[in-house]
Structure 1
Amino acid sequence: MIINWSSAAHKLSQQGQAYVLVTLVGVSGSTPRNSGTKMVISNDDIFDTIGGGHLEYKALKYAKKMLDVAKNAQHNAQHIEHFQLGSHLGQCCGGNATVLFECFAATGVNIMLFGAGHVAKALVPILAQLPCKVTWVDSRAEQFPEDVERYHNVEKVVSETPEDEVASMAENSYFIVMTHNHQMDFAISQAVLKRADFHYLGLIASDTKWRRFQQRYKHRDIDQTQVARMNCPIGLADVGGKLPIEVAVSVSAEIINVYQAEQLRVATLTEQLEQASQQCSALDENAGLASDLVNDLDTNININSATDLTLKNKRRPSSQQGIHWQEFKQLLNTD
């Protein structure tokens, strides 16, 4: 199924994925497409076209750079670039095109959910409505709902060794562990702990299971500071209940709480950096004014020093009275 740029932008926004909207905002002469033509470029795909050729190749290359920057910067960005199709890009149409690049940074979170039991089946429809991408993993293909594909931001993965899937996730990912097998839960959680770059690790477990797991982590020399970061029991304590939907609501509430806290932290840090940048600019401006003042003072001092020196050469010593002999001699010679 071919998706146009507007549908792609809507879908990617819902999934919280980063993408670049490329628009021809101005054209002159002969160009492959008219002004207003758009295309969308994501990390994994391209939607629509601005005419192909070297122009589109350049646009694609620049959009990929913006996406790479967005992974770390985590904020939107805009840029306008002008292209001469003939002299610079070698396209026979020979016109000019002005291209607007609008990069929309990823807003969602990457979640890997292990287990397709009752709680997971109640949890996925909730997560599917959030700005996140869910990778749903289980070793039993028959456990997944038949209509799992209807969730645009959920990917089903059937794996005989679910713990091996941990390595496929990006850093700062969220991991939810609730399989049907305790040993599998331990292997998965151990793999996440060894990575030590997770943002969230939640484990569904009773008190007894959790104590046993903690002892086993110690015996496996797992970093205890990483173990302390785990969320077990999983879910918000204020949202109780044992029904699958009650547990699912509690877990999803905890996920929302965690990623909103991170968004607030990033927003606060960004604001602080902007304020610091403004203060540095103000300091630089003041330093420039101070430098100009010092230069003016130096100039005045030099002028005054020169004037003083001239006056000093002309001024008679305080001990002298009458005319100086050299002046007197000069007068005599003049006569």
Structure 2
Amino acid sequence: MADNLRHGKACALVTVARAEGSTPREAGARMVVGPQSTFYGTIGGGTLEFEAIRRAARAAGSGKASFDLHSVSLGPDLGQCCGGRAELAVEVFTPDALETVELLAAREAEETPFATVSGLEPAGSLNRRIVETVPGDAFNIDTDPENGTRVLTERFGANLRPIFLFGAGHVGKALVLALAPLPFSVSWIDSRAEQFPGPVPANVKKICVPEPASLLEQAPDEAFVLAMTHSHALDEEIMARALLQQRFAYCGVIGSKTKRARFRRRLKSRGMDVSLISKMVCPVGVSAIKSKHPAAIAAGIAVEFLERDEAGHQQAAAGKGLAQNIPYGQ
């Protein structure tokens, strides 16, 4: 969005404000549309997105800042089979809003969720201010009881699950590519600088340290920890430290059932409780995928991470504990 405004072009931000029933995307999904129907992001494709792009491009083409909220029934209005209803917000930003957009973009780059509050003026334009309290809803309009004005609260910034990936070998390289478009923030750790490729995806940070296992102290609570280093001894050390901390949502190590049995014996010989050892995931990935091609292994791990991440968020909301209790791939 900021790039469009820097080049003197107005653009529209399309947001799924509300989703009911079967809809292509959830509330909070966004896309940016230019006056020539160029777009970035998606609200789910299909006729809903096609019509949203057309509407947003027309609004951006006017060159006037505006805010519009409209409801669409996917069946009767668009002839789609989903059967749900979506409420879309279309907000036009003009080049004079560049300073505000750059401020919001910088905050979004910090990779922590934040919220904005703005009053809906009679003309439909918005004047956002950043607040630190992050709401549960991605998009919400309330009426101020004191003056009767409408107030819009929006949640921005991705809630990315941190992954501490140990090992920059062939599977590690494939995995960071598989995770690139997914809601994860990857710390990629190895003691061998030459193993890392030059460019890496935007959600990946390369870390070269002589003692990789020491980085676990910097990993946040509820992070996913995955060991796939060149050394089984190092893998074991990483697992031992991770499991003993009892604060990670996932502790996995690449390998076979034989490796799992050996690691369990060794961890037990260290005096580790069996209940902790049982939290170690090995093999990792999707058991139905038998291929040993690095990209196939990476795809299976990415699927496992997505399932565990979603289950973890659901369990956290219900107060039921960690996602690592799912018997996936063991």
TM-score normalised over the length of structure 1: 0.55
Partner residue, 1:196: 246
| 2:202 equivalent to 1:152 | yes
Deviation of the 1:191 alpha carbon: 1.1
Partner residue, 1:128: 180
SS at match of 2:207: strand
Partner residue, 1:246: 296
| 2:227 equivalent to 1:177 | yes
Do 1:16 and 1:109's aligned partners in 2 also have CA atoms closer than 8 Å? no
1:61-210 matched pairs, under 5 angstroms:
63-64=131-132, 66-67=133-134, 76=138, 101-104=153-156, 107-148=159-200, 151-210=201-260
Task: Report the identity percentage.
Answer: 32
Which residue of 24, 27, 36 maps to 2:126?
36
Do 2:268 and 2:277's aligned partners in 1 also have CA atoms closer than 8 Å? no
Structure 1 residues 13 and 184, CA gap change in structure 2 (3 angstroms):
same
The structure where strand makes up a greater share of residues is 2
Structure 2 spans left out of the alignment, 5+ residues: 4-97, 145-149, 320-330
Do 1:75 and 1:104's aligned partners in 2 also have CA atoms closer than 8 Å? no
Do 2:239 and 2:280's aligned partners in 1 also have CA atoms closer than 8 Å? no
| 2:109 equivalent to 1:19 | no
The structure where helix makes up a greater share of residues is 1
Structure 1 residues 212 and 264, CA gap change in structure 2 (3 angstroms):
same
Q: Which structure: larger Rg?
A: 1
Q: Deviations over 1:8-37 (max 9, x none)?
A: 86798799741223546569xxxxxxx734
Q: Distance in 2 between matches of 1:4 and 1:206?
A: 53
Partner residue, 1:304: none
Structure 1 residues 5 and 109, CA gap change in structure 2 (3 angstroms):
farther
Q: Deviations over 1:268-306 (max 9, x none)?
A: x39xxxxxxxxxxxxxxxxxxxxxxxxxxxxxxxxxxxx
Deviation of the 1:232 alpha carbon: 0.4
Q: Distance in 2 between matches of 1:214 and 1:223?
A: 10
Deviation of the 1:102 alpha carbon: 3.2
The letter of the residue matching 1:36 is L
SS at match of 1:102: strand
Partner residue, 2:309: 259
Partner residue, 1:283: none
Structure 1 residues 214 and 76, CA gap change in structure 2 (3 angstroms):
same
Q: Distance in 1 between matches of 2:301 and 2:223?
A: 16
Number of residue pairs matched by the alignment: 219
Partner residue, 2:18: none
| 2:312 equivalent to 1:222 | no
Partner residue, 1:278: none
SS at match of 1:212: helix
